[in-house]
Every structure is written in structure tokens, then in C-alpha cells.
Chain A
């Protein structure tokens, strides 16, 4: 394992922000910590970097216990959200800085800096100061500074948050390419689930300092353990409908939502009368003659597909993905249905009933 956390806890004063986190990240894996702000993802990354001490637990990097090792000796390199480039140094000197501190030879420094510059296509910018670079170039310099150190693990703390939308997509692809090219273990923190889905080999979804679920992006999308993960992964987010169990027919559980019957195929057998939440992904909802009545409110046209925003009688929203050309007009009543295999059921505490 490249990185291993065992029962890591972190408190600031009396407030515990990381609760007993254990995780394994394999060598060469691109792991992403994702979650809303304040979920502890950055703190966890900083704990791995050694910028924060753990309150208890153990952190190992390549089978070595580094819990109390100085940050510089852990073999990690970090790319910060604000880039943290040294403004008074040129791009070359920024990348050479850590090597100079290590008293590397002039030749070694030049070799490594030029190699990193070639990977990141920064050869033309080496003599420039960071203030003369664009946001994307600055970000690449920050990554270059990490590459020259040849770390065991790359740590990225929301590295794309300061870029505009277009550049963010471009840099995301470059990061994916870089990971393929150098094959290093990378840990990446973001609050953007799209970034997490597109980059990660393995996602760790965090909330309240607890890992809610970890796994491959599509596994998390298709098979979330709880309502939080189900709602967080996927864009637009999953629709949740409060309902009641009314009975069972074979392996189908009958549910009632807004006086409409819906059916889910789950193995669990909740007693009739149990309150549950139904989870429906926008792309799994069908518009038909029968089903849950909703009022069409607005459509988001994205060209090839549209997202229809509809309201239930209780005014809560349901988003439906629509790919079939002309869609309903505003104010019209639609009837929504979903295949029993695609409906997810969650108990009142948010745990998935499978």
C-alpha cells in the first residue's frame, strides 16, 4: 500500500474534526477525497502531508510509519489551491528550490527541472516570474515543483478551484494525462464531485470527518451506501421522495408516494407502514401516461439533452433527464415512473436498504 491510515483522529481543541478514519490507497492509484466544505477532507490531506499532527492513529507511506515524521521527510509533495509559488523567483528557480535546499548538484537540478518542464510544456516559460503567467501556467508550475522532488505521493489540495470553468476542464484532463504518464500515487481533494468522478481511481466521500463510502467512481454512483453519498455523487443530484411501504409482492416492495404506487426491487423487507426515502436518478425517470404527477416548471437545455425541473404537489423538486427532442411546456402536468431495479430505498436514518 502506498498510503495507509489507521484509526486517525484529529481534534482542534475540544472539537474533533476527523473521526477514526482508516483507509488504504494502493501504489499508483489516483485517490480523491470529496465532500462538502467543512467535511475534513483538507485536514485529512494536511495530516498525511504532516502539516497537521494527528491526535491519535497511524499514518504509513510505503509501509513506513510516518505519523511523527517531519513533512519534508515523508516523501510527499503538495500542490496548493493558491499555488504558493515563490513570487520573487523565476519558474526555473521555483521548481529548483527544493533541490537547492537538498544541495543537489547543478547538473541534477537542471536535468530534473527541464524534464518536469517538458512534461508540463513549460519550456518557454522557465525564465518568467509567476506574475507573468496565466492561472493555468501557474498551476502547472506548482505541479512541476512537486514533480522535480519525485515524491512517493502527490497531494493536491483543491488545485483547480482558482481557475475559470473552461481552464478547469482542460487542467483536469492534463492531470489525468500526467497521472497516466508518471504513474505516481496521487491524493486529490475537491468539493467538486464531477472532478472526483472524472479523475479518480478511487473516491473517498467524506462528511463530518467520517468516510461515508469509498470505492471506484461508478460503483459509488451505481451502488451508494447511504443517502448522503447517493445525493452527493452525480450531477444533477439524485431526486429523493419521501414515501411509505405498503406491502410486498415476490421480490418487489410496494411503496406509496403522493398517493401513487411505486415499486422497488430490494431484498430487504421493511414492514408495511415504514417511512422510507426513494432515490431516483434523473436519467432513470421516464415520462409516461401514468405515474407520479408533477407540474413542469422549467427546462435546462443543454443541446443533446435537457433537464426538466418539475414540482410535486408538496412543492419539492424532481429533475428529469430528457433526450427525446420536444419536451413538455411550462405548467403542463407530467406523470413520472421508474423501473423497479433503478429505484433506491433509504431508511429514515439515510442507510440504504438493499
Chain B
């Protein structure tokens, strides 16, 4: 019995290790490529073991490309998208969940329906719209179509639905209105889900490639994922530099997640403890 158990554990550990290696390998490969010289990268001698530690690609990425501008564009657009999506999403969810008005169910139906439309299906019409509004090559052009995130509304609504009715009535008797309810009770009560949604929305906005790629054509307005496509010239692709830019581009998201990951766990624990 003990032996079967041991075997099971070994198989599980082996499987996990294999999955971890498969998952980490591209990152590892990107890293060792980024610390090699361009000649070394394309030579037959480039093996799996790091044999050089050369930061030229990073220096080149930082000083010969517009990486810092792209950083700024990415950070600004992602933060604006996150803030607007969360604030508008929670207000819409609050209205659908807590207020009684004609057409409420229809409105929720529309939100659910929009969830089912793939964003690619709307790309052409969105592009024409942005073009007509003169928003090509602007932050507004990048941001506006990304503000529709129905899943945020759906998730918030479900959490607001779960807040006991008495809590609402207590606030009403205390003299509070809808804004008091939303910002001083419902939001703090669901802080965990707000943090989680903020992280998801930020990462989604940061990683967004297709739409910014279409709506931005000047290098100065590009976000990082779009900027990566510019790290080549008439002589072809510079692999080391490309990988350096990719790693530098992914780093803020990784750091952002690592910082807030703890917060998410904390927040979820608080909200579940509070609800218990």
C-alpha cells in the first residue's frame, strides 16, 4: 500500500516537473538568447547552456529603440483602461443588481449578449469609427474600444447580489443613498474581487496586441507588444535585442502580479472571513 502511494507520488512529482520545464523553457530560452551577442545567437555553437553574459542587447533595447516611450504608452493606457473599466463596471453592476427600473433585465441581457461577441468580429467597424472620430494614433483610439469588458459587470453583479438585503436596509435607515451603499459598503465588502478584477484587466490591457497594432502606426504612440514588432531593420531580425525587449516588456506585468498576488490572497481571505 505504502509502495503504491510512493509510486503515485513519484509519478505526480515527475509530471509536475515536466510541465514546469515545458512552461519555463521558452522564458529560459528568451533569457539566454538575450544575453548573447547577435552572432552567437545565430551560430551553430549556441547551445542550451548559457555561455556568454553580454548585456549589449539590453543596452541597445533601452537606448536604440523607443522602449521607454512604449513603456509609458503601455502603462498609461493600461492604467486608464483598468480604472475606467472597474469604475463603470461596478456602477453598472450595482444598478443592475440593486436598483429597480424598467428594462433592467433587458440591459443585463444586452451585457450578457455582448459577452458572446468575439472582439475580432467588431474590429473593422471599430477601426472605421475611430478613423471617423480622428482617433487613429491617439491614446483615446487605443483605449476606447477596450473599455467594454462585460465580464467585469457580470462578476461584480454576482458579488453584489450576494450581499444580504438587510445590509442595504441598514444603510438606508442610517440615511445613506446609493453612492454611500456602493462606495462605503458594497465596494469594501468586495475588495478582494476588485483587486482580482483590476489585475486581470490590467494584464489584459497590457498584453493587448491586435487592436493597438491596427490603430497605431507611428512609433511614438505604440504600446510595448506593438513596439516589439519594430525591433528589426532592413537587414532582418535582431534576435537578442528582440528577446531583450520582450523580457523587458513582460517584466512590469510579472512584477505587478507578484506584488498584488499576495494582496489578492489576503483580500479573498478577508472577504470570506467577513462573510462567514
Contacts and interface: CB of A to CB of B under 8 A. Distances in A.
Nearest to B185: A86
A81 B185 CA distance: 19
Given A88-B274, A101-B176, A129-B274, A51 B169 contact: yes
A130 to B, nearest CB: 8
Contacts of A51: 169, 172-173
Give the interface size bracket for B toward A: 20 to 34
A97 interface: yes
Nearest to B270: A88
Given A78-B170, A131-B273, A84 B164 contact: yes
A78 B173 contact: yes
Nearest to A78: B173
Contacts of B26: none
Interface in B227-276: 270, 273-276
Interface in A88-103: 88-89, 97-98, 101-102
B167 interface: yes
A72 B189 contact: no
B44 interface: no
Contact of A87 (B173, B175, B275): B275
A77 interface: yes
B103 to A, nearest CB: 20
A141 B232 CA distance: 67
A86 B185 CA distance: 7
A350 interface: no
B31 interface: no
B166 interface: yes
Contacts of B276: 131
Contacts of A98: 173-175
A71 B176 CA distance: 10
Given A82-B164, A98-B174, A101-B174, A87 B169 contact: no
Interface of B: 164, 166-167, 169-170, 172-176, 180, 185, 188-189, 191, 270, 273-276
Interface of A: 49, 51, 71-73, 76-78, 80-84, 86-89, 97-98, 101-102, 129-131, 145, 149
Given A72-B175, A78-B173, A84-B169, 9 more contacts: A51-B169, A72-B174, A81-B166, A82-B166, A84-B167, A84-B170, A97-B174, A129-B274, A131-B274
